[in-house]
Structure 1
């Protein structure tokens, strides 16, 4: 999750008149964790559902509401710039959507420029899915000439000086030679033409989603900023430009809209029109479990920087600011009421259940597995049950089959429930390539299958999976690990020949184990296929196993 570094004095400059201790005490009430702090600097971690709080300005805005300093939807100075962006029809099959705006009268210093870059990259990760869905460009507006053009360009016939470089490169050369270009080349290499943003003098501003031009680089002398957001999801593009523009406006910036001219429509961005949702007062009381009054609910919503209109004694119309992308359902509004009312004011009460609680035997067995794995020198990881088809099937060399899909996924990388833990382990190894070798990791978790015979149509199973990565790991090592696990559980191991697309042929085995009155175990282990290793950007051999526990727990 994003960790935001802020200086206490910056919050005070934005109007938060609290001591360091009071800031540290107050911020967790907004739903963040304090990672670290000293006398000058504070590091906080916000959940990805609140990207509007990924900047010091966003945090200040939320704090002002929580402290009652400012209530309701923030009002920003916004006017029409009169400028346009013309969108080439040929870009529609590559990266079809763009939002652009101008923010003027800003003040920068070296620290501020660094914070903005960090804010941009945090949004790339959360909103953009590492630039695949959304990519952001921030430019010095004073060195370019409107109108602007968003087009598909020949990668060998256009050249410019990319950010932090001194020599001109063609678009194709940037993907092959520039560090950032190589990192994100996979987003464009399948296309014959690449996206490009130019001004009226044919100056290149950006090559989305790869890199900006050195020409428009922001520094301490920048006063006016041009924001461009491009992507494959129109809604996400609009949300991102709203978050960026309002964050700049919190520090005194003046927003100017820009008209986007598509071949079939016209759109002005940013559009800060609030969303509206109805709120049932009784639902608030029921879910919070507290007899909160109508006036207290309304005041809490105002502190959450929302506006509210009373429709009846039991219904409120809530106006949600355009930068709040996390409000999807009524329950999200109720959560905000609870936060602003303060959880400490909600009195706990015992449930009306006359029973004695005890740990579920199913989870007792988890601890047994953990002790065995830790004893073998493995480190536990915990990953999400939600994954995506690319990671789960394509990168693991598996054919797609029946699976439980998410009907309305909030992101492109969380579209299905996993059927295996191996993809999660490989993702973890990829994200921790910088760590020392050997790496030995495991996970105890659930997977879900389609079960047409079941009334619920799904079947949840417990799995244990582990992976080893170092230069000399091999079939013998992973076999001895699996044998030790089986033996410590009191089972007798049986091996069978098998083939599995994720493993090297001839270096993979199927394992079975049974014991009377206990669970049976089925699984697979071996050396991970080189193609899978490359798919996850790894450079060393990987061996892995996955065991599934059926019937009763061990």
Structure 2
């Protein structure tokens, strides 16, 4: 969880009133933060990662002012018309294809302000930006730039500049291999033939996103005007990151000015986008979740205290969300805000109407039982993602591609579908650990997802295991399956020859109990071993557990 040291004197600057340390210690937890430490002149608070606006004193003061009822309602920020054009090269669409920008004028920055700006930037990089992969931000001294500005794709060997903190000019490839930030974040762009670069009309490099800025545009206490660039993979999060930063800079005294992004096809976008989102929530919904009989006036004022704009139409509230609030996504989030605005300490604790004794879900009981059995048989449990790929689930184990549940918006070829079997990923685990000591015996229990045509899909509980060593055989697989079934109360299972292509023909069997197919076991096909780089023989099994969920609690 992110933390910030809050100093009463600095917070008072943004609040417009004096607050002392004792008051902050008492009040800040009611903003849904936790006190981590109290120093001589500061309080360190821990805040939720979905509140990156709390990464600065201006952001905390904005929320705290509403709590204290110093300022209520939507915090408006004026945006001046754009004077600077920012040209977007189409080559960047396949590299880092989102660009946002803004200008901040007439801001006086102290050393404390500069440190806080850098902290906001890093919090946004790590949270919204997913360690700069998704979003990265550059902040520059505007007075050292000659507009217009250009976002281009540059040759990494033919382009050089002096990166921030360095005393010599370096090529882009040198920066990735010799500069700390280049080594840390270079993997984000290394796979591309050209790298993103931001230059001005004089050809001076401003930034090499998402890696490092130029020494030319370094911020100092003498800086009065800022130029901000945000490069990203996702426009929504890029715009929100920019908004969070701009609101903080506005609270520090800066004046916000828009920037035009001009594309090669002639289209134009203007940032920042401060247009608020609107979410409606019903009074009855709020009362039912909070368990409090709040009247509409109290709900209305509570939302104003959380810095929202509110319109009340009978029993429905239409709430405008400030552009820096990335955490408010659904009306349930507004219920939480009403609770904070109303005062968390004022919520009435109540006992449940019925008192019951909790117990484990039957599925959990069953999984615990089979885990104990498998560990007793010398197997080690592993955990794989339920999302896999056709390559792992079918091609690497000789299984034909069948109807499956696919991801509609997959961003990776390794995460394209939901697994319909546990065995393929276990074989992949063996492939990854093939240089470790033998024998290797691993198992997994968890859900699999079966596509069922027009009926949609079904989720089933399954257990699977694999074993590889020099003498792995069909007999070993059968012994493991019999031990597992015996622990589940299955006394006389039936076996029939299996044609599952994952297994060696004639060395595999299907398992039946009371006329129902439970699973399969046998020796892994030599071709599967070869596809996965396995040199030793291997056996495997998979049993569906749904039939035993209710029985297990009685065993």
Shared fold (TM-score, shorter chain, > 0.5)? yes
Are 1:195 and 1:207, in contact at CA under 8 Å, matched by a contact in 2? yes
Q: Distance in 2 between matches of 1:165 and 1:444?
A: 51
Shift of 1:208: 1.4
Shift of 1:66: 2.3
Q: Distance in 1 between matches of 2:108 and 2:469?
A: 60
Q: Distance in 2 between matches of 1:61 and 1:421?
A: 53
Quickly say closer, same or farther: Cα 1:507–1:63, change in 2 above 3 A: farther
Are 1:91 and 1:195, in contact at CA under 8 Å, matched by a contact in 2? yes
Shift of 1:502: 11
Q: Distance in 2 between matches of 1:161 and 1:418?
A: 49
- The SS at the match of 1:24 is helix
1:480-531 CA distance string (max 9 Å, x none): xxxxxx9999979x9955757997513685566xxxxxxxx87xxxxxxxxx
1:349-377 CA distance string (max 9 Å, x none): 444557554443544677889999999xx
Quickly say closer, same or farther: Cα 1:275–1:165, change in 2 above 3 A: same
Are 1:4 and 1:55, in contact at CA under 8 Å, matched by a contact in 2? no
Return 5+ residue gaps in structure 2 as ranges: 429-441, 471-481, 489-520
Task: Name 1:303's counterpart in structure 2.
Answer: 305
Quickly say closer, same or farther: Cα 1:410–1:93, change in 2 above 3 A: closer
* The 10-residue stretch of structure 1 (333-342 or 198-207) with the greater mean CA deviation from structure 2: 333-342
Aligned length: 491
Are 1:29 and 1:342, in contact at CA under 8 Å, matched by a contact in 2? yes
- The SS at the match of 2:63 is helix
Q: Distance in 2 between matches of 1:252 and 1:41?
A: 23
**Within 5 Å, which residues of 2 pair with 1:396-415?**
none
Task: Name 1:79's counterpart in structure 2.
Answer: 80
Shift of 1:40: 3.3
Quickly say closer, same or farther: Cα 1:412–1:65, change in 2 above 3 A: farther
Quickly say closer, same or farther: Cα 1:408–1:157, change in 2 above 3 A: closer
Q: Distance in 2 between matches of 1:413 and 1:326?
A: 29
Asked if 1:268 corresponds to 2:270, the answer is yes
Quickly say closer, same or farther: Cα 1:234–1:349, change in 2 above 3 A: same
Shift of 1:223: 3.2
1:183-232 CA distance string (max 9 Å, x none): 32332233222211111221111111222112112234433322110112
Shift of 1:18: 3.9
Quickly say closer, same or farther: Cα 1:497–1:100, change in 2 above 3 A: same
Task: Name 2:206's counterpart in structure 1.
Answer: 205
Are 1:392 and 1:418, in contact at CA under 8 Å, matched by a contact in 2? no
The partner residue of 1:277 within 276, 279, 284 is 279
- The SS at the match of 2:231 is strand
Task: Name 2:289's counterpart in structure 1.
Answer: 287
Task: Name 1:316's counterpart in structure 2.
Answer: 317
**Within 5 Å, which residues of 2 pair with 1:123-522?**
123-263=124-264, 264-310=266-312, 312-353=313-354, 356-363=357-364, 447-452=447-452, 457-459=457-459, 461=461, 505-506=534-535, 509-510=538-539
- The SS at the match of 1:103 is strand
Cα RMSD for the two superposed structures: 4.9
Asked if 1:5 corresponds to 2:4, the answer is yes
Shift of 1:148: 1.0
Shift of 1:475: 8.4
Query: Who wins on radius of gyration, i.e. which is larger?
Result: 2
Return 5+ residue gaps in structure 1 as ranges: 427-441, 466-473, 477-485, 513-520, 523-547
Shift of 1:275: 1.8
Q: Distance in 1 between matches of 2:416 and 2:45?
A: 29
Q: Distance in 1 between matches of 2:144 and 2:262?
A: 22
Are 1:301 and 1:337, in contact at CA under 8 Å, matched by a contact in 2? yes
Task: Name 1:103's counterpart in structure 2.
Answer: 104
Quickly say closer, same or farther: Cα 1:193–1:350, change in 2 above 3 A: same
Task: Name 2:509's counterpart in structure 1.
Answer: none
TM-score, scaled relative to structure 2: 0.72
Shift of 1:412: 13
Q: Distance in 2 between matches of 1:218 and 1:368?
A: 61
- The SS at the match of 2:300 is helix
Shift of 1:45: 3.0
1:157-196 CA distance string (max 9 Å, x none): 2210112222211223323333322332332233222211
Quickly say closer, same or farther: Cα 1:186–1:36, change in 2 above 3 A: same
Are 2:6 and 2:45, in contact at CA under 8 Å, matched by a contact in 1? no
Q: Distance in 1 between matches of 2:326 and 2:198?
A: 26
Quickly say closer, same or farther: Cα 1:242–1:382, change in 2 above 3 A: farther
Are 2:51 and 2:326, in contact at CA under 8 Å, matched by a contact in 1? yes
Quickly say closer, same or farther: Cα 1:416–1:281, change in 2 above 3 A: farther
- The SS at the match of 1:94 is helix
Q: Distance in 1 between matches of 2:240 and 2:257?
A: 16
Quickly say closer, same or farther: Cα 1:370–1:256, change in 2 above 3 A: farther
Are 2:24 and 2:43, in contact at CA under 8 Å, matched by a contact in 1? no
**Within 5 Å, which residues of 2 pair with 1:4-153?**
4-9=3-8, 10-15=10-15, 17-104=18-105, 105-109=107-111, 111-153=112-154
